[in-house]
Amino acid sequence: MLYADVLGKLLIAKGITVTTAESATAGMIASCLGDISGISSCMREAYVTYCDEAKERILGVRKETIDTCSVYSHQVAAEMAEGARRVSGADLALSVTGIAGPGGGSPDQPVGLVYIGGSYRDITITRKYIFSGDRKRIRRKAAIEAMRLGISLISR
């Protein structure tokens, strides 16, 4: 995957460590980065936190945030990224939460709704997307956009 190559090479060249906190993508970002030769010098940990309890227990996402804002929100994506960065000690953390389908959507939160977070040093950014396609396509698009966000954050 092109964006994994670009992100991985940037991480290695700059000596930036990375971790991922993934729900809808189920480890796809970490897997793509794992294909890059030399990434072991940068890759800290990868968390697949599908259920709310795992997001709370492992990443420190506040239950109040999930209850108030929804697990599919800017706030949860930000807390996932910040929590993963804090727990792992990595410089950069990328997070994904969303609804890959085919079920689980609603009029307010349709299938394809994805929030991506990136936390790098003292900056945390989230982005909202509504992707179309089947489950595999939505997950792939989310992973690509997360890696694009990572490239953007470390290229500043």
pLDDT digits 0-9 by tens, 24-78: 999 999 999 999 999 999 999 999 999 999 999 999 999 999 999 999 999 999 9
CA distance 15 to 23: 26
pLDDT higher than threshold 80 for residue 1: no
What mean pLDDT value characterizes the chain?
A: 97
Positive or negative, the Cα torsion across 52, 54, 58, 59?
Answer: negative
- What is the model's pLDDT at position 100? 96
Residues making up the chain, counted from first to last: 156
CATH of the domain at 51: 3.90.950.20
The pLDDT of residue 94 is above 90: yes
* pLDDT (average), residues 82-106: 97
Beta bridge partners of 19: 93
> Tell me, what's the pLDDT at 156?
83
Range of the domain at 37: 2-154
Q: Residue 63 has what pLDDT?
A: 98
Domains of the chain: total? 1
Cis (ω within 30 of 0) for the bond into 107? no
